[in-house]
Amino acid sequence: MNNITGDSYLAKTLSAYDVDFFFHAPLITPGALRQMEAPEHGVKPIAAHAEKAAAYMADGYARATGKPGICGSQAIGRSNLLAGLRDAYLARSPVIALTGGSLPEFRYRGAYQELEDQSAFPTATKFNAVVEQLDRLPDLLRQAFREATSGCPAPVHLEIAGMLGNITMGKMDDDDVVEPRFAAVPSFRPAAETHDIESVLAALRSSERPLIVAGGGLMMSRGQKELQAFAEKHQIPVATSLNAKAAILDAHPLSVGVVGLYSKETANRAIHEADLVFYIGSMTAAQVTNNWTAPFPGKRVVQLDIDPHGIGRNYPNVASLCGDAKTVLQQLLDASGPIAPKSGWLARISSIKSDWAEKYTQAKASSEQPIRPERALTTLSEYLPDNAVVVCDTGHAGMWCAQFLELKSDDQIFIRAAGSLGWGFPAALGAKCGHPDRPVFAFTGDGGFYYHFSELETAVRYGINTITIINNNASLNQETPVWGGAPDGMNFNHHWKFGDVNFANIAKEMGAFGIRVTEPDQIKDALDQAQASGLPAIVELMADIEALAPPPWTPEKVDFLLNAVGEATAQDQRK
C-alpha cells in the first residue's frame, strides 16, 4: 500500500462520499482542511463563529439534501458541538461530527483544556467512537457513514486523538475502500412482510374514518409521491407532523394539515374523529400527538416505520409494518384492490377545513400595524418560488408556520427545528450550501435570531445568500402567559420583553442586506429587494407582541393545560 498522511486520507475520503461542505468552529484537523479545498477534492470548509451553529449548519444541510452533514471542532469546543447535535438527534438527521480529543499519552495527566466529555456524546448520537490510532481512521470513518445513514438515521461522533485531531498529521497505509451506498439516506430500502401488508390493508378496509399521519421518516425516505398515490387511490385524508409538512400540499383535497402540539386545528379535529390512524415514518412522540392526547389512548392505530423499536411504543398497533416508507407504500399500492370511499368522512373533512378557512379569513388579510403573523405568512406563501426551501425555527415560529404557511409546489422543501430555539438561521445557511441554486428562506422570531446572529458575518464571508424573515415583536411572546398577571407593584417585563433592536441596521453593518418593514403591504416589495440584493438578507417584520399563535385544539374531554409553557387556558383551547 502507498503511504499517505491522515490529513490526505480524510480529505479524499470525504470527497469520495460526495461531501462538499465541512462546517467547523474554530479549527479541527487543519492539514485536512487545507487539502479539502484542492480541486481534486472539492470539499469547502465553512468556519462558523460557534460550534453549536456549525452543528446546526450541518444539520440543515443534511435535512435539506439527505446527505450526511459534516461538522467538527477541536477538543475544547466539543461540548458546544454536542449541544448542536441535540436537534439533529431529535429529528433523526444524518450528521457526522469529528472532534479532537486527548492523545493517549496525555490522558489523565491534566493536558491543556482536557475534560472527559466524550462519554456525554451517546445522549445525542447513534454511534460514538474514539480514533486513538491512525490506522483505525479508515474503518471507523466508514462505520460513521454506515451508522448515520442506515436504518433510522441519526448523528454520529468520532473523537480523533489530539486537541485538533493531531494524529491525522501522521503517516498511514492508504485505504481506497469507499461505500457509496452510505453517502445518502436511505442506504437500504427494506420491504415489509407480505402477511403484514395484508393485515394493514384489512384494517383500512374495516375502517369508516381512516386518517394517515405522515412523519419525518417518510420525508427521509423520499416517499411523498407514493404517499399521495396511496391516499388518492383509497381516498384517505392525510395529516402530517411539522417535520413532514411538505409531504402533501396544503391545497390538496385530502390534506388536513399539521397535527399535534404545533398544529392546525383541522388536523387535530380530524384525528379525534378518525376511527383508525395510520402513522407512516412517525415516532408518535409528544409533538405529533399533543402529549399523547391526539389521538387519545384506545384509538385503533396502524404503524409503518423503519425502526422496529418505535412500532407500538406509544400506541398499541392493530397491525404493523417494518420497512422503508417509500418501498412499503409501493407494496401497499401494488397489493391493494379498491377500498370503498367513505363519502361521509370526506364530506366531514371538507367541512372542517372550510370552517377553519372562514375563521381566519380576516386575520390572513389583515392590514393591522404592527403586522399580524397570519398576514405575514400568507404573503410569504404567495411569494415563495416553486423551488424554494423554507427553514422554520421552533416556538411560535413553528406554530405560526404549522398553521399559516402554505406550500404550493411539490418541489418546495420545508424543514423545521426539532426544539432548539435559534436553530433556524444557521440551519438555513446549511440548507443553502446544499441547494445553492434554490432560494432559501428562514422564518424565525427575534428571540430565536438573537442566538446566532453572529453567523450573518459567516454568510457574508462565504456568500451564503439566504433570506431571513424575522418576526420581531421585541420579546419572547410565547412566554406571555407565564409572566402576565404580575402581582400589584411587580413588573416581570424584563424577563421576556426586549429593547428595540434594529436587526436591519445590524445586517447592513455586517455587509448584508437589511430592511425593516412596518406595514403588511410592504412585505412583498421587501422580499423582492432582498432577492435582488445578491447578499445574505434580513427582512425584519415589526410584529404585534399581542399576537399569540393559536394553541393546539383539543376536544371537550381535555380539561387541563396541555402546553408546557401555558400559551392558553383549557377554555381557550376548546374554541
Cell numbers at 50, concatenated: 460557534
Q: Quick check: 180 pLDDT over 80?
A: yes
**Could you give the 3-state DSSP secondary structure of residue 98?**
strand
pLDDT band for position 558 (50/70/90)?
low
pLDDT at 508: 99
Chain centroid to CA 432: 14
pLDDT 10s digits, 146-173 = 999 999 999 999 999 999 999 999 999 9
Give the CA angle between residues 520, 386, 329 to the nearest 5°: 125
Q: Which amino acid is at 71?
A: C
Q: Contact, 456 vs 540, CB < 8 A?
A: no
pLDDT at 573: 32
pLDDT at 575: 31
Nearest to 201 by CA among 321, 112, 25: 321
Q: Which CATH superfamily is domain 194-355 in?
A: TPP-binding domain (3.40.50.1220)
Q: Quick check: 409 pLDDT over 60?
A: yes
pLDDT 10s digits, 254-299 = 999 999 999 999 999 999 999 999 999 999 999 999 999 999 999 9
pLDDT at 460: 99
pLDDT at 562: 43
For 358-378, letters b (16+ CB in 10 Å) and e give eebeebbebeeebbbbbbbbb
Spell out the residues 6+ positions from residue 522 whose beta carbon is closer than 8 angstroms to its own: none
Q: Average pLDDT in the 350-371 region?
A: 98
Is pLDDT larger for residue 309 or for residue 574? Answer: 309
Nearest to 244 by CA among 265, 263, 221, 218: 218
Q: Quick check: 9 pLDDT over 60?
A: yes
**Could you give the 3-state DSSP secondary structure of residue 118?**
helix
Q: Average pLDDT in the 325-352 region?
A: 94
DSSP assigned state of 162: B
Is pLDDT larger for residue 105 or for residue 532? Answer: 532
**How distant, in Å, are the alpha carbons of 200, 219, 322, 538, 567 from that of 225?**
20, 10, 19, 34, 36
Spell out the residues 6+ positions from residue 396 whose beta carbon is closer than 8 angstroms to its own: 373, 445, 471, 477, 478, 548, 549
Q: Contact, 221 vs 151, CB < 8 A?
A: no
| C-alpha to C-alpha distance for 575 and 559, rounded to whole angstroms | 13
| C-alpha to C-alpha distance for 384 and 390, rounded to whole angstroms | 9
Task: Indicate yes or no: pTM above 0.75.
Answer: yes
Q: Average pLDDT in the 348-377 region?
A: 98
Q: Quick check: 556 pLDDT over 80?
A: no
Spell out the residues 6+ positions from residue 293 whose beta carbon is closer than 8 angstroms to its own: 554, 558, 562
pLDDT at 561: 40
Domain ranges of the chain: 3-183, 194-355, 361-542
Q: Quick check: 345 pLDDT over 70?
A: yes
Q: Which helix (H) or strand (E) holds 199?
A: helix 194-205
pLDDT band for position 557 (50/70/90)?
low
pLDDT at 475: 92
Identical fold for domains 3-183 and 194-355, yes or no, is: yes
Q: Quick check: 564 pLDDT over 50?
A: no
pLDDT 10s digits, 112-131 = 878 888 899 999 999 999 99
pLDDT at 484: 75
Nearest to 277 by CA among 327, 307, 317: 317
Q: Average pLDDT in the 486-506 region?
A: 88
Please name the fold of domain 3-183.
Rossmann fold (3.40.50)
pLDDT band for position 109 (50/70/90)?
confident
Chain centroid to CA 326: 20
Spell out the residues 6+ positions from residue 91 whose beta carbon is closer than 8 angstroms to its own: 59, 63, 216, 243, 418
Chain centroid to CA 181: 23
DSSP assigned state of 68: P
Q: Contact, 238 vs 248, CB < 8 A?
A: yes
Instruction: Find out if CATH 3.40.50.970 is the number for domain 361-542.
Output: yes
- What share of the chain has pLDDT > 90, as a percent? 88
Cell numbers at 269, concatenated: 379535529
Q: Which residues pair with 371 in a beta bridge?
A: 543
Is pLDDT larger for residue 559 or for residue 323? Answer: 323
Q: Contact, 25 vs 191, CB < 8 A?
A: no
- What mean pLDDT value characterizes the chain? 94
pLDDT at 136: 97
Spell out the residues 6+ positions from residue 359 whose beta carbon is closer than 8 angstroms to its own: none
